[in-house]
A and B are shown apart, each in its own frame.
Chain A
């Protein structure tokens, strides 16, 4: 019965939806500020020429924090139903499997190149 009422009034859904997204502007300004801080941090990683594991872990950390803020707040994913959030956020994790496959593949290619093209060209 309730579902029938919902479908009978197609304009009701966006209206109810609109009410759910009345966040104060301050929230967006705070997130904006954090994105600036995080971007500055990742730029400083390069500016101070940090190297090795410290560089990689800092770059990935700042990247994930920025991506998280953008998706959760700017794209409103934090307020979506889990059925949508999981449907969108879980599939990209498959890329990590792809990364794993390609790491093996490129290690093998590099090994072949080093063995058969010693000059490195």
Chain B
């Protein structure tokens, strides 16, 4: 019965598309995001605000780099590694990029298996995602250690403009923090999936609400966002 009513609503809603549909949604009664749960809408709105935070970081980096009369250190050389006698530019950052993209791939599949109520696969894929994330943070720690050993500080570095250090530590540090929080979040939700909380409608510890598999998608939104931010950092900070 409920399903039938819902299908009818969906049909009626899809009749107004494009700008008219947007205006109809936003000017309608009670809620603008019709088929989106509050949890998902709030995660999107949080991610939008986070976009502005990272946007401001990248903007201040742009301003520092454009306004300095001192040459900017060449990231290609700064982040080069010598592996087995081969000098390869930017290789660590490239590997970190592939690790994070892979984690996004496993996360997307975890969301899919979640909606299929495949608890085992969902939990395993989420833990694999968390492992990729932890690997990423580990490589970032290695990178920070290497740069600090080479004398990079927020106020100076051996290669050029002083602002390089402050931009680097601020941007990658904030991103690494996001990844770390994401890993913790993933492990918590994976445990709930594994235990079958969303099948038995077990109530949450803090919220006392019954959860469902949408939380896997919401966690996924956060995780993909972290990957998304890295796409921009990779392009603007490391490649530019």
B204-240 CB contacts (< 8 Å) to partner A? 212-214, 217, 220-221, 224-225, 227-228, 231-232, 234-235, 238-240
Whether B69 lies near A117 (C-beta < 8 A) is yes
Find A83's partner among B25, B56, B101, B239 (CB 8 Å cutoff).
B25
Find A28's partner among B34, B56, B109, B225 (CB 8 Å cutoff).
B109
Q: Using an 8 Å CB-CB cutoff, how does the interface string of B1-37 with A read, 1 for contact, 0 for none? A: 0110111111011000110011001100110111111
Scoring A75, A105, A120 by chain B CB atoms within 10 A of each residue's CB, the highest score goes to A75
Residues of B within 8 A of A81 (CB): 13, 21, 25, 33-36
Nearest-CB distance from A28 to chain B (Å)? 4
B141 on the A face (CB < 8 A)? no
B41 on the A face (CB < 8 A)? yes
Residues of B within 8 A of A14 (CB): 37, 212-214
Q: Using an 8 Å CB-CB cutoff, how does the interface string of B100-116 with A read, 1 for contact, 0 for none? A: 01101101110110011
Decide: A46 near B105, CB < 8 A? Known: A5-B2, A109-B67: no
Per the bound structure, the CA–CA distance linking A46 and B34 in Å amounts to 45
Per the bound structure, the CA–CA distance linking A6 and B231 in Å amounts to 39
Decide: A28 near B112, CB < 8 A? Known: A62-B235, A74-B107: yes
Q: Using an 8 Å CB-CB cutoff, how does the interface string of B58-78 with A read, 1 for contact, 0 for none? A: 010011101111100000100
Whether A106 lies near B10 (C-beta < 8 A) is no
Q: Is the interface of B mostly helix, strand, loop or mixed?
A: helix
B98 on the A face (CB < 8 A)? yes
Residues of B within 8 A of A75 (CB): 220-221, 224-225, 228
Find A2's partner among B9, B52, B56, B108 (CB 8 Å cutoff).
B9
Residues of B within 8 A of A16 (CB): 3, 6-7, 10, 35
Q: Using an 8 Å CB-CB cutoff, how does the interface string of A13-29 with B read, 1 for contact, 0 for none? A: 11111101111010011
Nearest-CB distance from A3 to chain B (Å)? 7
Find B5's partner among A6, A103, A109 (CB 8 Å cutoff).
A6
Give me 28 A-to-B residue pairs in the complex whose CB atoms sit less than 8 angstroms apart, sorted by A's number. Answer: A3-B29, A5-B2, A13-B37, A14-B213, A23-B112, A35-B101, A43-B94, A47-B89, A63-B234, A70-B104, A70-B224, A82-B22, A83-B22, A83-B32, A83-B33, A83-B34, A84-B33, A84-B41, A84-B44, A87-B32, A88-B48, A92-B51, A98-B55, A102-B63, A102-B66, A106-B63, A110-B67, A114-B69
Binding site for A on B (CB under 8 A): 2-3, 5-10, 12-13, 17-18, 21-22, 25-26, 29-30, 32-37, 41, 44-45, 47-48, 51-52, 55-56, 59, 62-64, 66-70, 76, 89-90, 94, 97-98, 101-102, 104-105, 107-109, 111-112, 115-116, 212-214, 217, 220-221, 224-225, 227-228, 231-232, 234-235, 238-240
